[in-house]
């Protein structure tokens, strides 16, 4: 296998990648972990500083960027034990609070998000808005005392049950319709009127998805993160890292599946040579390797641009990286399962369970089609059909 390093890996990043990889391999002897294992892994990774590598040092983080955090997630995934909540808690919520939060909000949340003792979920998706976030209707009404009342419904929100709070994307009452002017609120899990219901998914993952109902949730004035008039800038400060981290999640999984398939193809022998000698088996694996590597390069570019402060450039690259990673991983997992024949579908080898998991990266956090729409309109300047 080629080296997992990318052109932007400094010696520190090479060391981080190696350390996370060896830590993760020690935790994943049998493949993807179950719920208790994930909890333990989260706690240990937090103690080692891996969960907060992107957060400011003055709040207990590692002082790095999304590049470092994506290395952590990719290497965990490549060892078979990805942590989905990394996409949400330090990458979206940690970044948004670090960039736009008040001193008190940073003090309250960042040290815990960095060491993993606090977790924050993120809720933007709504049943009637879906891919069209401009249609979200979760509404915040300002009270006379400066506090807020939130009402709305969210779906598919990951990890609400284990998160201490959820960063909810709403809109203010006077901006209820028209172009989205999002406002971000930290809603504690115990807030009165905040309830959640598990959505059973056909996914073999430890982290679960929930429908969330906000029924007259009363929040203090300082639940609002950032400026209520900042528009999309603050939201995308969180959404671009989410896309880059979803690419890292997918690419780790793709590398894990490909490694398993290559190992198997090297040794499994049913005719004269191991099955890996048949080009019908070898070439699709080689293609997958190339496609994963190409997607990793785009992810590295997106993370680099984001960390350099180029939000606009990072937006396009993050979309493309997420697209490329999702496609490459869906294909790699499919081919890996096929390479193992009947064993590809056994629980012992644990590959078939990745078929649905890999497809998440095609749908969330923004679907393949919406990325193609973005590139058609924003990059290529083609007209819009919707």
Ligand X SMILES: Cc1cc2nc3c(=O)[nH]c(=O)nc-3n(C[C@H](O)[C@H](O)[C@H](O)COP(=O)(O)OP(=O)(O)OC[C@H]3O[C@@H](n4cnc5c(N)ncnc54)[C@H](O)[C@@H]3O)c2cc1C
Q: Is 187 in the site for ligand X (CB under 6 A)?
A: no
Tokens of 350: 């644990």
Residues near 7 by beta carbon (within 8 Å), at least 6 away in sequence: 297, 300
Residue among 195, 136, 198, 196 nearest 170 (CA): 136
8 A C-beta contact, residue 180 and residue 144: no
Prior bond of 365 cis (ω within 30°): yes
Nearer to ligand X, 153 or 338 (CB): 153
State the number of binding residues for ligand X (CB under 6 A): 22
Residue 191 is classified by DSSP as -
Q: Is 369 in the site for ligand X (CB under 6 A)?
A: yes
Q: Which of 67, 158, 240, 246 binds ligand X (CB under 6 A)?
A: 158
Q: Taking contact as CB under 6 A, which single stretch among the options 97-105, 142-150, 220-228, 367-375 is the one that binds ligand X?
A: 367-375
Nearer to ligand X, 59 or 122 (CB): 122
SS3 342: helix
Q: Is 376 in the site for ligand X (CB under 6 A)?
A: no
Q: Is 240 in the site for ligand X (CB under 6 A)?
A: no
Shortest distance, position 207 Cβ to ligand X, whole Å: 8
Tokens of 306: 């984001």
Longest dimension (CA), the chain: 81
Nearer to ligand X, 23 or 210 (CB): 210
Question: How far from each other are the two terminal CA atoms of the chain, in whole angstroms?
Answer: 44
Residues near 283 by beta carbon (within 8 Å), at least 6 away in sequence: none
Q: Which of 19, 230, 370, 375 binds ligand X (CB under 6 A)?
A: 370
Tokens of 375: 């590139």
Nearer to ligand X, 88 or 245 (CB): 88
Shortest distance, position 385 Cβ to ligand X, whole Å: 7
List binders of ligand X among 65-104 (CB under 6 A): 88
Site string for ligand X, 113-152 (x = CB under 6 A): ---------xxxx----xx---------------------
Q: Is 156 in the site for ligand X (CB under 6 A)?
A: yes
List binders of ligand X among 189-218 (CB under 6 A): 203, 209
Nearer to ligand X, 78 or 124 (CB): 124
Nearer to ligand X, 91 or 257 (CB): 91
| SS3 of the chain: helix, strand, coil, percent, to 5 | 55, 15, 30
Residue 119 CB: number of other CB atoms within 10 A?
Answer: 22
Size (the chain), residues: 386
Nearer to ligand X, 265 or 333 (CB): 333
The torsion of the CA quartet 110, 112, 115, 121, rounded to 10 degrees, works out to -90
Residues contributing to the site for ligand X (CB under 6 A): 88, 122-125, 130-131, 156-158, 203, 209, 360, 363-367, 369-370, 373, 386
């Amino acid at each position: 296998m080629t080296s997992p390093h990318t052109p932007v890996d400094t010696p520190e990043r090479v060391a981080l990648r190696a350390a996370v990889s060896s830590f993760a391999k020690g935790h994943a002897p049998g493949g993807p972990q179950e719920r208790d294992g994930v909890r333990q892994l989260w706690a240990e990774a937090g103690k080692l500083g891996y969960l907060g590598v992107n957060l400011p040092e003055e709040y207990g983080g590692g002082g790095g960027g999304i590049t470092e955090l994506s290395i952590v997630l990719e290497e965990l995934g490549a060892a078979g034990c990805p942590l989905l909540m990394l996409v949400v808690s330090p990458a979206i919520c940690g970044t948004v609070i670090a960039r736009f939060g008040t001193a008190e909000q940073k003090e309250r949340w960042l040290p815990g998000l960095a060491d993993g003792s606090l977790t924050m979920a993120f809720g933007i998706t709504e049943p009637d808005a879906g891919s069209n976030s401009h249609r979200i209707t979760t509404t915040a009404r300002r009270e006379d005392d400066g506090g807020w009342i939130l009402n709305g419904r969210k779906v598919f929100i990951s990890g609400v049950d284990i998160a201490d709070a959820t960063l909810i994307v709403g809109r203010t009452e006077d901006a209820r319709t028209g172009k989205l002017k999002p406002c971000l609120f930290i809603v504690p899990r115990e807030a009165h009127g905040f309830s959640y219901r598990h959505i059973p998914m056909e996914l073999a993952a430890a982290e679960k998805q929930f429908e969330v109902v906000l029924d007259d949730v009363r929040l203090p004035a300082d639940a609002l993160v950032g400026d209520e008039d900042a528009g999309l800038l603050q939201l995308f400060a969180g959404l671009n890292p989410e896309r880059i981290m979803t690419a890292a999640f997918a690419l780790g999984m793709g590398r894990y599946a490909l490694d398993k398939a290559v190992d198997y193809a090297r040794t499994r022998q049913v005719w004269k040579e191991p099955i890996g000698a048949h080009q019908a088996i070898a070439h699709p694996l080689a293609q997958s390797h190339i496609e994963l590597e190409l997607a990793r390069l785009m992810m590295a570019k997106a993370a680099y641009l984001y960390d350099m402060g180029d939000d606009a450039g990072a937006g396009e690259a993050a979309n493309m990286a997420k697209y490329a990673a999702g496609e490459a991983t869906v294909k790699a997992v499919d081919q890996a399962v096929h390479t193992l024949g009947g064993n590809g579908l056994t629980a012992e080898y644990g590959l078939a369970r990745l078929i649905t998991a890999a497809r998440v990266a095609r749908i969330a956090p923004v679907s393949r089609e919406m990325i193609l729409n973005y590139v058609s309109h924003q990059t290529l300047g083609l007209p819009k059909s919707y």
